[in-house]
Chains A and B, each alone.
Chain A
Amino acid sequence: MAEILRVEDLTKYFATKKGTLHAVDGVSFRVEESKTLGIVGESGCGKSTLGRVILHLHERTGGRIIFQGQDISNVTAAQLKELRKDMQIIFQDPYASLNPRMSIGDIIAEPLKIYKLYPSKEERQKKVRETMDVVGLAERTYSLYPHELDGGRRQRVGIARALILNPKLVVCDEPVSALDVSIQAQILNLMMELQRERNLTYLFITHNLSVVKHISDDITVMYLGQMVEKAGASEIFAHQYHPYTKALISAIPQPKYNAPDQQIILKGEITSPINVTRSCRFAPRCVYAKPECFEQEPQLEEVSKDHFVKCHFVREINGL
């Protein structure tokens, strides 16, 4: 299958008063066309920053981004504008990401205006109505304003706006986190259906592990700006090798009566990403940590086929 996106050793540092904040630190992966890569992690692990750096919403500090075989790490503003037709984003908060003073029709039509795709108003409206139909927005919402819609419909507007230019890659930054479960299921089904129809590639960023398992082909788990584990979606839920992934997956409360309690309770909280040292970043919270973990940073290694783990003692811990 054709590769659509590859990032190599991507880094993004922010300068703060207290020092350098390592938001994304040496992330590499590749995504194939019409697949979904799920990026999971807790608040502050750099998953949103990663998505934004790929879209040039933040400029990267180092590394390379290759999109459709072309190095887009350094692009001019004009090139970027062209690129954005193929790379779109769906934001987390459907309440904050729509302009309250524009009608739904205008919001969805805006990308068309920016790219001057359908010069005549009638054609533009027709295209907008078509797209609204695709995402399941009723005709009558065309002239309504965002505050008149509920969360699920607003998120459909966000999806319509992202899809109207027929992008190839869509970065979905927590698209269902603000929605109720019954609505969440509707939106997830819609996104998967659209993916099949239009060969979309998704970078699906979320903290919700059950959602990510449902929608992704591959999953990478991030901790403090780094990838700690990467594998196929079913593989990672069947075998977690990194101690952090183990804890993360065991912490999901199961909606079942008398679910077996094998929860691993982690000590403490995510440590600061400012001025990190050359060590395993998870070591302070890890039950298996040894002195070596605090001195040397582990490398991402392939433990079994297409299953990568960043841990010094992965073989010992898992008896591999």
Chain B
Amino acid sequence: MAESILEVRNLEIRYVTDEETVCAVNDISFSLEKGESIGLVGETGAGKTTTALGIMGLVPDPPGEIVGGSVLFEGQNLLRMPEKNLREIRGGKISMIFQDPMTSLNPVMTVGEQIAEVVLLHSKMSKGEARKKAMEMLEQVGIPGGRCDDYPHQFSGGMKQRVMIAIALACSPELLIADEPTTALDVTIQAQVLELMRNLKQEYGTSLILITHDLGVVAKICDKVAVVYAGEIIEYGTLKDIYTDKRHPYTIGLFDSLPDIENESAELKVIQGMVPDPSCLPEGCKFHPRCPYAEEGCKHGRMEPVSVSETHMVRCGRFRGGEV
């Protein structure tokens, strides 16, 4: 087995306020090898972004609180690390691309300065060298280096997202966390950005955590998939496992509710009901109120993960007892 770069074990994150406790992440575990990419898929409020913030040590505290678990990055537990060391890792070895390129760039700094800022922080380059590096990075993501003195508002949405990618990659991180990197973009621009990310992955061997709700995007660049529902990974496996041999009723429902451009059907299949409110999650299997196969046994206790194969895990009572 190749060396694993990141291991998340039993991560649990809550947001505690006076009125309620929101269990955003409940027991999430996955691992990532060098050069591998994993897609975290799920709907709004499933806890995908909170997981990413947890790994980066960026959960706002208060109200956020990491209750348990560990995040091992190159063998070190990030959750126990002093803030000072964390800051060295963030932006250097682990970097993140945020969802909304329009609001995550600083509007009063040129894009060149914003890229150089990361470089200056994490290496011993001089200002001149950093500027040169910034121009190089822009060229890498397909923007003429000469535009490094322009401000964010002078770029289009797709180009801003490329600038974000340039910032994230400036220090050649080992691990890149991309939170809905293409959601705000048009399809043809999305295709350009995905192509770029795929090339960079091949070139630098960067590991990637891709957070998205778009199953099509995952199919394009991920090796592994984790389907997240109500703060739990309910199905986990290789891209092939999930796309050709899906087991969990939620995963199946998610795929079925997409309009298929190749086949005609009069009505879309829907998953009944709504995503549960994370401040009062149902007991037992979190999906049981919406599940067509729910039985009495699903309503109580903890749903433990069941292995379907060496690479494929599913959290569903129907597969307990080995008959898969």
Per the 8 Å Cβ criterion, residues 214-250 of B in contact with A are 214-220, 239-240, 243-244
Interface locus among B73-81, B110-118, B121-129, B191-199: B191-199
CB pair A42–B220 under 8 Å, yes or no, is no
Contact between B191 and A257, CB atoms less than 8 A apart: no
Q: Which of A129-144 contact B (CB under 8 A)?
A: none
A152 to B243, CA, bound (A): 27
The contact of B254 among A182, A192, A210, A254, by CB within 8 Å, is A182
Cross-chain contact B267 with A213 (CB below 8 angstroms): no
Decide if B257 touches A257 in the complex (CB within 8 Å).
no
Chain B residues with Cβ under 8 A from A42's Cβ?
Answer: 186-189
B145 in the interface (beta carbon within 8 A): no
A211: which B residues are within 8 A, CB to CB? 259
Which of A70-78, A119-127, A263-271 contacts the other chain? Answer: A263-271
Residues 249 to 277 of chain B near chain A (Cβ within 8 Å): 253-255, 257-261, 264, 266-271, 274-275
A253 and B274 contact, CB distance less than 8 A: no
Within 8 A of B (CB), among A232-260: 234, 237, 247-249, 251-259
A184 touches B257 (CB 8 A): yes
In the complex, A43 has a CB within 8 A of chain B: yes
Interface centre among A209, A213, A237, A269 (most CB of B within 10 A): A269
Identify which of B26-34, B56-64, B156-164, B294-302 touches chain A.
B156-164
Q: Give the complex CA separation of A247 and B44 in angstroms.
A: 29
Asked if A1 is an interface residue, CB under 8 A from chain B, the answer is no
Residues in A with CB closer than 8 Å to B264 are 234
Q: Bound state CA distance, A151 and B220, in angstroms?
A: 28
Number of interface residues of A (CB under 8 A): 40
Q: Contacts A181-B257, A185-B268, A256-B243 known; A207 to B186 CB distance under 8 Å?
A: yes
Judge whether A296 is part of the interface by a CB distance below 8 angstroms.
no
CB-based contact A253/B217 at 8 Å: yes
CA distance A256 to B258 in the complex (A): 12
Q: Does B213 reach chain A (CB closer than 8 Å)?
A: yes
A214 at the interface (CB under 8 A from B): yes
Query: Contact between B191 and A265 (Cβ–Cβ < 8 Å)?
Result: yes
> Which residues from B are CB-within-8-Å of A258?
240
Within 8 A of A (CB), among B187-212: 187-192, 194-195
B157 neighbours in A (Cβ, 8 Å): 43
Closest Cβ–Cβ distance, residue B262 to chain A (whole Å):
8
Q: With A252-B216, A255-B215 as given contacts, are A210 and B258 in contact (CB-CB < 8 Å)?
A: yes
Q: Are A269 and B156 in contact (CB under 8 A)?
A: yes
Chain A nearest CB, measured from B222 CB (Å): 11
Say yes or no for B65: interface residue by CB 8 A criterion: no
Is B43 an interface residue when CB atoms closer than 8 A count as contact?
yes
A209 nearest CB neighbor, chain B only: B261
When chains A and B are docked, how far (Å) is the Cα of A249 from the Cα of B191?
Answer: 11
Least CB distance from B152 to A in Å reads 16
Does A269 contact B239, Cβ atoms closer than 8 Å? Answer: no
- Nearest to A43 among chain B residues (CB) is B186
Structural contact, B270 and A182, CB atoms closer than 8 A:
yes
Q: Return the chain A residue nearest B186 by Cβ.
A: A42
A-side contacts of B275, CB under 8 Å? 180, 182
Bound-state CA distance A188–B270 (Å) is 10
Smallest CB–CB gap between B255 and chain A, Å? Answer: 6
Chain B residues contacting A299 (CB-CB under 8 Å) are none
- A237→B259 CA distance, assembly (Å): 13
Q: Which residue from chain A places its CB closest to the CB of B187 in the assembled complex?
A: A251
Chain A residues closer than 8 Å to B240, beta-carbon distance = 257-258
Given contacts A188-B259, A188-B268, contact A251 B254 (CB under 8 A): no
Complex contact A180–B158 (CB within 8 A): no
Q: Which residue of A lies closest to B260 (CB)?
A: A210
Interchain nearest-CB distance for B21 vs A (Å): 20
Residues from chain B with Cβ under 8 Å of A189 in the complex: 267-268, 270
For A214, give its contact among B215, B259, B269 (CB under 8 Å).
B259
Question: Are A185 and B194 in touch, CB under 8 angstroms?
Answer: no
A269 contacts B187, CB within 8 Å?
no
Q: How far is it, in angstroms, between the C-alpha of A259 and the C-alpha of B220 when the chains are bound?
A: 8
Contact of A254 with B219 in the complex, beta carbons under 8 Å: yes
CA distance A189 to B258 in the complex (A): 12
Interface pair A214/B187, CB less than 8 Å apart? no
Contacts of A185 in B (CB 8 A): 257-259, 268-271
Q: Mark B135-168, 1 if CB is under 8 A from A, else 0.
A: 0000000000000000000001111000000000
Cα–Cα, bound, A189→B156 (Å)? 34
Q: How far is the CB of B40 from chain A (nearest CB, A)?
A: 15
Which B-chain residue is minimally distant from A261 (CB atoms)?
Answer: B220
A94 to chain B, nearest CB (A): 13
The reply to whether the CB of A150 lies closer than 8 angstroms to some CB of chain B is yes
Q: How far is the CA of A184 from the CA of B220 in the complex (A)?
A: 22
A255 to B218, CA, bound (A): 8
Determine the chain A residues whose CB is within 8 A of the CB of B192 once the complex forms.
265-266
**A253 and B219 within 8 A (CB):** yes
Could you write out 20 A-B pairs with CB less than 8 Å apart?
A181-B213, A182-B43, A182-B253, A184-B257, A185-B258, A185-B268, A185-B269, A189-B268, A210-B258, A210-B259, A248-B188, A255-B216, A255-B258, A257-B219, A257-B239, A257-B244, A259-B219, A263-B195, A265-B188, A269-B189
Top-9 shortest CB links A-B: A253-B216, A257-B243, A255-B215, A214-B259, A185-B257, A42-B186, A185-B268, A251-B191, A180-B43
Q: A251-B190, A265-B195 are in contact. List 10 more A-B contacts (CB 8 A).
A: A42-B187, A183-B274, A185-B258, A213-B261, A234-B264, A251-B188, A253-B190, A255-B258, A263-B191, A265-B192
